[in-house]
Structure 1
Amino acid sequence: MAMNIGKIDFGPLDARHAATSSDFDEIFFQKVFIDPAGINLDDFNRGKKYFIYGIKGSGKSAILKYLEISNRKKCYTRFVYFSDAAREGLSSGSFIPAGTE
């Protein structure tokens, strides 16, 4: 019997959508998360690094979600995307582009 590949559920589009879905399993996510090569996640925990960037699909959202879950009991964390923060700031009038103060 032939199967229509369009009917297969591969899950959410990306980590951002997976992390915000109602059926996101944080325990499972922590178990299967693999530390990215060349990135010391403790540098983020200690404040040595604080900015994550990269091309689409490089794992930025997954790293952020992992750090958020791992540090939730130690400190306040919030999962914020620059695009959302900029959009919210623009709509509320509180976003001021650099050099225009």
Structure 2
Amino acid sequence: MHDIYYGSALPPDRKPIPLTAPNERIGEPCLHVGSTKVVAVITTDAPDRNSPFSAPDIASRQIAVHLLDFFDHEIKRGRLTGKLLPLQSGVGDIANAPCPRAPTKD
């Protein structure tokens, strides 16, 4: 665990996390929890179980198309600039999928 950020509020009062580069850090290296909440501490030498991302399926590709269409629409309406900066995304199959509109290498 690293970069645990406690600066967010619940919606609708949540603000963007003020990071603008992938190497920036804002959080803390530990999770704060009251000692009365801890029931056990388990140490292990087992490696992390990072699962590989799945290949984009039809639903993931359609979500990406809808998102890109939304951004295009908002740019045309003048509510977003063409640079779309900064955008934040999570990590996962959809967030890490290749862009369906990206040029292909022939």
- Where on the TM-score scale, by shorter chain, does this alignment land: which range? under 0.3
TM-score by length of 2: 0.22
Larger Rg: 2
TM-score by length of 1: 0.23
